[in-house]
Amino acid sequence: MFTGLVKEIGKVVSVRSNAEGKLIEVSSKELLPEIAIDDSVAINGACQTAVKVTDSTFVVQTVHTSLDKTTLGSLRSGEEVNLELALRASDRLGGHIVQGHVNDVGQIIQIQSRGNNYLVTIKVNSKQMKYIVKEGSITIDGISLTVADVFKADSSFQLSIIPHTWENTVLRNRSVQSFVNIEVDILGKYIENLLFNGARRSNGASTQNLESFLND
């Protein structure tokens, strides 16, 4: 489990294909002393397992499923990535509960300057919109953020990014048409599951009505 608070910007050193997917090697200075083989590391919000650690880098084995569901498959040598280690039981939960399970890849469709802040609008698969609510939490490339507005008509939402977040994460490298990893708030999915299980125990019509309600 993670918090969505990026601890370091690492840099991709190499990407090598193998039978399981790709071996991605990342350089790290601040977090590397704490990384051991089998540790979980969030790379742009996707939970990966360290399979090798050197004096200056760590390597993760990214399987085909992760390559298909995230932006990790498009990483290239020299590219910067957001890094976060798994949450300790004694750590503060400064962001929100983040699993490191990417639900969708969204695309930035607009970036506007608003004073010192940046308004970023992201388009997603319409199936994810029911989990995205105004003033709710969402994770973008491993960053815990608050949704500023929701536009259901075109399956998009807007974020207001403060300068510190913009400058200290890979958002500083993003532009219109960039793709980003998205993890919706898991609490919404738990609630949906509880509601559907209750409806199923009742009758099929209730399930259909509930599904229609959630998608509206």
> What is the tens place of the pLDDT at every residue in 43-90?
999 999 999 999 999 999 999 999 999 999 999 999 999 999 998 877
Rounded Cα distance, 170 and 166, in Å: 7
pLDDT for residue 209: 56
pLDDT for residue 105: 98
- Let me know whether 81 and 116 are in one domain: no
- Let me know whether 15 and 79 are in one domain: yes
Query: Residue 127 contacts by C-beta under 8 Å, 6 or more apart in sequence?
Result: 104
pLDDT for residue 66: 98
212 occurs within a structural domain: no
Angle (deg, nearest 10), helices 186-202 and 204-215: 150
DSSP sequence for 140-199: ETTEEEEEEEEEGGGTEEEEEE-HHHHHTSGGGG--TT-EEEEEE-HHHHHHHHHHHHHH
Query: Residue 110 contacts by C-beta under 8 Å, 6 or more apart in sequence?
Result: 119, 120, 121, 176
Residue range(s) defining the domain that contains residue 170: 104-187
Question: Does pLDDT of 28 surpass 80?
Answer: yes
Question: Does pLDDT of 12 surpass 80?
Answer: yes
- Let me know whether 60 and 113 are in one domain: no
pLDDT for residue 188: 81
- Give the CATH number, domain containing residue 71: 2.40.30.20
Hey, how many other C-beta atoms are within 10 angstroms of the C-beta on 33? 9
Helices and strands (DSSP H and E) totals, the chain? 4, 12
- Let me know whether 109 and 179 are in one domain: yes
pLDDT for residue 186: 84
- Let me know whether 15 and 58 are in one domain: yes
pLDDT in tens, 87-108: 887 777 777 889 999 999 999 9
Residue 110: strand, helix, or coil: strand
- Let me know whether 119 and 171 are in one domain: yes
211 occurs within a structural domain: no
- Let me know whether 131 and 68 are in one domain: no
160 occurs within a structural domain: yes
200 occurs within a structural domain: no
**b/e code 110-120 from CB counts within 10 Å (16+ = b):** eeeeeeebbbb
Number of folded domains that form the chain: 2
- Let me know whether 146 and 183 are in one domain: yes
- Let me know whether 139 and 170 are in one domain: yes
pTM of the complete model:
0.89
110 occurs within a structural domain: yes
Looking at 56, 85, 114, which one is the last position of a domain?
Answer: 85
- Let me know whether 138 and 72 are in one domain: no
119 occurs within a structural domain: yes
Mean pLDDT of 173-192: 93
97 occurs within a structural domain: no
pLDDT in tens, 130-177: 999 999 999 999 999 999 999 999 999 999 999 999 999 999 999 999
pLDDT for residue 192: 82
pLDDT for residue 193: 79
124 occurs within a structural domain: yes
- Let me know whether 111 and 164 are in one domain: yes
pLDDT in tens, 196-214: 676 566 665 555 555 555 5
pLDDT for residue 132: 97
- Let me know whether 12 and 80 are in one domain: yes
